[in-house]
């Protein structure tokens, strides 16, 4: 690296604060030495959460990609719930599973630190019950349940709307 490349590399940091955010400044005082200048990120910058290269939340609120991730995660966690309930109940009726039981898989499906609107909870309970119903039907017929992509996409859009998201054209 040339001297200019080193200077440029020291000016920028992916770490917004702390010791790694410091860069060398210009000449200061009579000593002619180098100063340390601290760069801070402005207070109004967004905090993004990344997962597999996608931004799934901004400032602890889900993005459209985050909503899709929650629906995918909910499918997995409901699978585990179904197996657990199936082992402990002779006759499982997915539509009668209580909200207190469904909250666990929903919380597990949400990325840590994410807050969702109160309006989103009835939707997530309904989606969970539908998923459990599909799993029950598949289990009884002896095949593995798969979630249709159209349903996954529409549920993610509904969740995005319930979480206060703005759709294109609004």
Instruction: Dump pLDDT digits (tens) for 108-153.
Output: 998 887 878 899 999 999 999 999 999 988 888 988 888 888 888 8
Map residue 6 onto helix, strand or coil. helix
Our separate counts of H helices and E strands in the chain read: 5, 5
Instruction: Dump pLDDT digits (tens) for 7-21.
Output: 554 554 444 444 444
If one compares 34 and 104, the residue with the highest pLDDT of the two is 104
Give the whole-angstrom CA distance, residue 65 versus residue 51.
Answer: 10
Predicted TM-score (pTM) of this structure: 0.65
* DSSP one-letter code for 119: T
Sequence ranges of the domains in the chain: 3-38, 48-162
């Amino acid at each position: 690296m040339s001297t200019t490349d080193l200077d440029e590399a020291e000016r920028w940091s992916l770490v917004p604060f702390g010791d790694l955010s410091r860069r060398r400044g210009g000449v200061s005082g009579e000593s002619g030495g180098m100063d340390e200048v601290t760069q801070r990120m402005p207070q109004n910058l967004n905090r993004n959460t990344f997962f597999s290269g996608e931004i799934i939340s901004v400032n602890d609120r889900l993005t459209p990609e985050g909503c899709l991730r929650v629906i995918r995660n909910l499918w997995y966690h409901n699978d585990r719930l179904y197996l657990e309930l199936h082992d402990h109940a002779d006759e499982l009726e997915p539509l009668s599973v209580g909200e207190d039981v469904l909250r666990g898989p929903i919380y597990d499906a949400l990325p840590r630190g994410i807050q969702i609107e109160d309006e989103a909870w009835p939707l997530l309970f309904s989606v969970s019950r539908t998923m459990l119903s599909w799993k029950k039907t598949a289990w009884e017929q002896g095949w593995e349940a798969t979630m249709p992509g159209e349903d996954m996409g529409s549920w993610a859009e509904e969740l995005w709307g319930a979480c206060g998201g703005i759709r294109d054209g609004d």
